Amino acid sequence: MEASPATIRLCETTGLGSRSCADHHSPHPQHYSQTGHQGKIWHDEVTNVTVELLIEKLKPENEKRVEPASQGEPMGPFKIRAEKLNAWFGQNHVLKDISIGFRENEVTAIIGPSGCGKSTLIRCLNRMHELVPGARTSGSVFLDGAEIYSKHVDAVQVRRTVGMVFQKPNPFPTMSVYDNVAAGLKLNGMRNQRKLDEAVLNSLKKAALWDEVKDDLDKSGVSLSGGQQQRLCIARALAVEPKVILMDEPCSALDPIATAKIEELIASLKEQYTVVIVTHNMQQAARVSDRTAFLYLGQVIEYGETTHLFENPAQELTERYVTGKFG
């Protein structure tokens, strides 16, 4: 039976799987799944090799060997960055030598067709990829200049500092609105009721949810609407004071009105956080992001300012994707 993201989050904050799994005897360290090599691999994360090969075969000859144009912009003052990052599910090589950085106080959108490695990339940025059975990584990820895959770094602390909001809203079903937001703080040992109250209030306000739930804090988190549940999950991530917020298609299950509220929220969050959002919706990427990265078959094909990438892409493959010719 597949574990839900909510269950995984509870396991992380209680300390399960907190050891580094790097193979330090190798000249190119690889970081392995802490859950072993057995069990069902999450099918929505695994690139379909047959589809990849078919796409490659059908592409014109002049596009079959695509060189990632820039692998991101020149390395600069990034909040979080990956260098030569590779990721596998078993023998399936999903991310291939990705080097990319994300600036503080900006929103970066990651776009690309299904199976190109978008969700895997952001899961590698907070070491959630290693929770998948049979998964492993190589390369480096730096947060404020510190290597998060170092054997001396606690993976659980990384996941508190680099928060994740999942595609489907996942409030803890047995907890109230208040307890959902306070869950991470309580598991981290906070017991001061005044501090808890302040943190819940501030997090719900940052998530633009306070005015809608302030009289219903004792109600179950799952009693809220879908859009409210997603903002509740964002408030839960904000409560533990992360530096980076990762969002994996946070609006895909929401209606247009709820989507608009999440997009407004994303725009406000960048004032205090680095935000990275995976989306299939190119219009959404154009609306909310400062920069956009286009991934294809596990590689960064193009990365730059959003307006420039959509209006004047440097790579023909990017132009074909953003104009809807494939994907």
Report the pLDDT value the prediction gives residue 326, as an integer from 0 to 100. Answer: 83
Q: How many domains does the chain have?
A: 1
Spans of the chain, pLDDT less than 70: 1-76, 327
In a domain, 327, yes or no: no
> What dihedral do alpha carbons 285, 325, 87, 14 form, nearest 10°?
40
Q: Domain span at residue 147? A: 5-322
Report the pLDDT value the prediction gives residue 298, as an integer from 0 to 100. Answer: 95
In a domain, 276, yes or no: yes
The answer to whether 153 touches 147, Cβ cutoff 8 Å, is: yes
Where residue 280 sits, what CATH number does that domain have? Answer: 3.40.50.300
